[in-house]
Amino acid sequence: MTHMSDRVSIVLAGQPNTGKSVFFNRITGIGVISSNYPGTTVEIMEGWTKIDGLRVRVIDTPGIYSLDATSPDQMVARRVILETRPAVIINIIDATHLERNLYLTLQLLELEVPMVVALNMVDEASKRGIKIDHEKLSEFLGVPVIPTVATRGEGVFKAVKKAMELLKEGAGVRGKKLEYGKDIERVISALEEKIRREMREIPFGISPRALAILLLQRDPEIVKIVSEKHKEVVEFAEKLASAIESMHGEQSSIRIAKERYALAHMIANSVVEKQERRLLRDVIDEITTTNIYTGIPIMMLVVLALFSSLVYIGGMLEEIITTAWELFVVANVEGIITAYGVDPLLRVIILNGVLLGLEAGLAIVIPYIVLFYILLSVLEDTGYLARIAYLLDGLMHRLGLHGRALIPLIVGYGCNVPAIVGTRVLETRRERFIAAFLISIVPCSARTVVILGIVGSYLGIMYALGVYAIGLLLLVISGVFLNRILSGERVGLVMEIPPYRVPHPVTVLKKTWIRFREFVYIAFPLLIIGSIVLSLLEYFEMLDAVTRAMSPLMVTVLGLPPVTAVPIIFGIFRKEMVIEMLVVLSGTTDLSLIFTPTQMIVFAVVTMLYFPCIASLGALAKELGWRDTILIALGTMALAITVGAILNVALRCL
């Protein structure tokens, strides 16, 4: 029996859209941390759970189709699997697409790491008339196969406990050796024998067979590592790879991939019984996705419903919170301050700084941001977000991008930072620059607060949608312009459309919290500090110098009140601070007292376009470097001023 420490690691691995994140959430609960994998900007999720008295670290990797991945996010998944040397792997596969998912399973088996296969979404498979003999599949693979329905928690902890049992049994349970064709096997065996004979240490502690296959596939990372100390092994592998190519008339990597697919096909055919059924969701999919004549109008209605919900529900929550705050908090604090004769400076800090800052954050930001993230998570978990990308794929190609690039753009409506990081899935630097620029002018949830909190609240939903329409038009114009002037390769990409699913409330709330906690931990303190700083500057009459310096731009060019100069500056730190600072400076949440309707629209558009926030700048610098970051920052500022000036003149002439 193998000795185990009180801490072990489990890595969750699987192809995209297999329910891996839901599986992870079921195991770890809310106590999750996200961090960049060392040396990259790609995030991995980590959580902890306790099984039979052992503290277990669970790592959720990005979805990966195979260990031959080349995009940065999938490379990280591969590196986590190889470098962390997990005690056990739980390979989550989609029961509705068994054959395709088995390709990665076969590669993981070659690593000879203890593994459990979680056959997920067996309920979906059953509805489609797909029956899988999981015991027979287990016999083929030589590892435990546990049927699961992660959305309902069925089988999840059984799979985890089975993984822990493997650890107690020791290194004996590592799956079967599944052989390829005889000619390929002879080559693999020859290289494997040389590796065993000449290499005492194998990279990442993988099996000699796995190393042999990776070398025969000419895996760049593995070839480079092995070449440093065992050049003769690489040279021998190259001769054998050339021999495969001579025998089959195709690259060795392609031949091995075909052999693996043939194995996956054989196994799937042996364990699956199909009586394909057409489901209601298939009909819905045709109406909402494959038929653009119905799909596009439905998409527009969904987007309209989303923003209408934000305006009306967010506005209602804002009114409730503001009224309650003024009635129960501000009135009582003012009474205490008056009763105790608090120093005037301290009074300003408390009332105009702390309390007004808190009110602005609680009443204006939270109702819109939290609601937006909930709705975004619902769109994500139902699978509709990917369908929006599919429907707009043609438009994206005109912008020099492809349908998958739309996912980061849509995520940008929540927050530009993860959206910019999400451009790593794009193949070329040209695509990443175009996508990053467009994301920088996408109205994130913080900008949405400004648009809905000013234009939506005072002028109505149609005017707010008009501001979004301006932003969308500028996004298209900017994309077409950049597509024409930037040189470089244009690459297409196939994107998988996940099946429609009913979103799980726990998963939706968890995603909402993970996205929102940055505001709680970082933005909220900044809002309070910013409010206090503004109250002090106003108390000591130091704001006039700033407003005078920026008056030519704010008043003459953009037609805005002089007071808007200060919030615009603070908006560089966090865009939602723009509206909070306006509230602090004006001393009221009724912004119709300082803006005309024309000024509201111009101010909202300028805020939507100008200069990415500090966090977005940091993300841009990591992804593209400072040169491109500065170009994007200056480009967005020029766009904001130009469009703002045009709108100022045009709206005044109406």
State the DSSP H helix or E strand holding residue 485, giving kind and residue range, or none if neither.
Answer: helix 461-485
The percent of residues above 70 in pLDDT, for the chain, comes to: 88
Q: Measured between alpha carbons, how far is 137 from 126 in angstroms, rounded to an integer?
A: 16
pLDDT of residue 636: 94
Please give the C-alpha separations between residue 438 and each of 406, 485, 626, in angstroms, as whole numbers: 10, 15, 17
As a whole number, mean pLDDT of residues 97-118 equals 91
User: Does the pLDDT of residue 41 top 60, yes or no?
Assistant: no
Q: What's the pLDDT at 269?
A: 93
> What is the mean pLDDT of the segment spanning 398-425?
72
Tokens of 373: 């993230």
Token pair for 416: 């530009």
Structure tokens at 61: 């990797």
Banded model confidence at residue 528, pLDDT cuts 50, 70, 90: confident
Beta carbons of 434 and 401 less than 8 angstroms apart = yes
Q: Helix, strand, or coil here: 373?
A: helix
Rounded Cα gap, residues 337 and 351, in angstroms: 9
Section 135-163 average pLDDT: 92
Q: Which two tokens stand for residue 480?
A: 């077409």
Residue whose C-alpha is closest to residue 446's, from 516, 535, 521, 533: 516
- Contact between 277 and 129 (Cβ < 8 Å): yes
- Per-residue pLDDT at 402: 59
pLDDT at 99: 93
CA dist 190 and 236 (Å) reads 10
Q: How far is CA 28 from the centre of its chain?
A: 19
Specify the pLDDT at position 6: 45
pTM equals 0.64
Residue 73 predicted with pLDDT over 50: yes
Q: What is the pLDDT of residue 596?
A: 93
What confidence tens digit (pLDDT) does each residue in 548-573 have? 888 899 999 999 998 888 888 878 87
Amino acid, single-letter form, for residue 316: M
Out of 174-183, 458-467, 558-567, 634-643, pick the least confident: 174-183
How far apart are the two ends of the chain, measured CA to CA in Å?
83
Cα–Cα–Cα angle for 134, 140, 144, rounded to 5 degrees = 50
The domain locations on the chain are 7-169, 182-274, 290-653
pLDDT of residue 522: 65
Average pLDDT score, the chain = 83
Coil, strand, or helix at residue 57? strand
Per-residue pLDDT tens digits for 191-244: 999 999 989 888 888 889 989 999 999 988 889 999 988 999 999 999 999 999
DSSP string, 255-288: HHHHHHHHHHHHHHHHHEEE-----HHHHHHIII
Name every residue whose Cβ is closer than 8 Å to that of residue 176 and which is 6 or more positions away in sequence.
Answer: 109, 140, 141, 142
Q: What is the pLDDT of residue 31?
A: 52
Residue 5: per-residue pLDDT: 43
What topology is assigned to 182-274 in CATH? Helix Hairpins (1.10.287)
Of residues 515 and 609, more confidently modeled = 609
* SS3 call for 146: strand
Q: State the pLDDT at residue 83.
A: 76
State the Cα–Cα distance between residues 567 and 573, nearest whole angstrom. Answer: 10
**Element housing 551 (H / E):** helix 543-551
pLDDT tens digit sequence for 306-328: 878 877 887 788 788 888 888 89
Whole-number Å distance between alpha carbons of 78 and 255: 21
Least confident of 91-95, 393-397, 559-563: 393-397
CB-based contact 82:7 (threshold 8 Å): no
Query: What is the pLDDT confidence band of residue 404, given thresholds at 50, 70 and 90?
Result: low
Q: Report the sign of the C-alpha dihedral through residues 147, 148, 154, 156, in that order.
A: positive
503 Cβ contact partners less than 8 Å away, ≥ 6 residues apart: 377, 378, 381, 382
* Per-residue pLDDT tens over the stretch 366-382: 777 788 778 888 888 88
Residue 32 — pLDDT band, cuts 50, 70, 90? low
CATH number of 7-169: 3.40.50.300
Query: What letter does residue 404 receive in the DSSP assignment?
Result: G
* Rounded distance between C-alpha atoms, residue 38 and residue 18, angstroms: 26
Report pLDDT digits (tens) over 228-242.
889 999 999 999 999
Per-residue model confidence (pLDDT) at position 637: 94
Rounded CA-CA distance 54/161 in Å is 11
Mean pLDDT of 262-280: 87
Q: What is the DSSP string of 496-520?
A: --PPP-PPPHHHHHHHHHHHHHHII
- Looking at mean pLDDT, say which of 101-115, 519-533, 577-591 comes out highest: 101-115
pLDDT exceeds cutoff 70 at 173: no
pLDDT per residue over 571-588, tens digit each?
887 777 788 778 877 777
Question: How far apart are alpha carbons 381 and 383 in whole angstroms?
Answer: 5
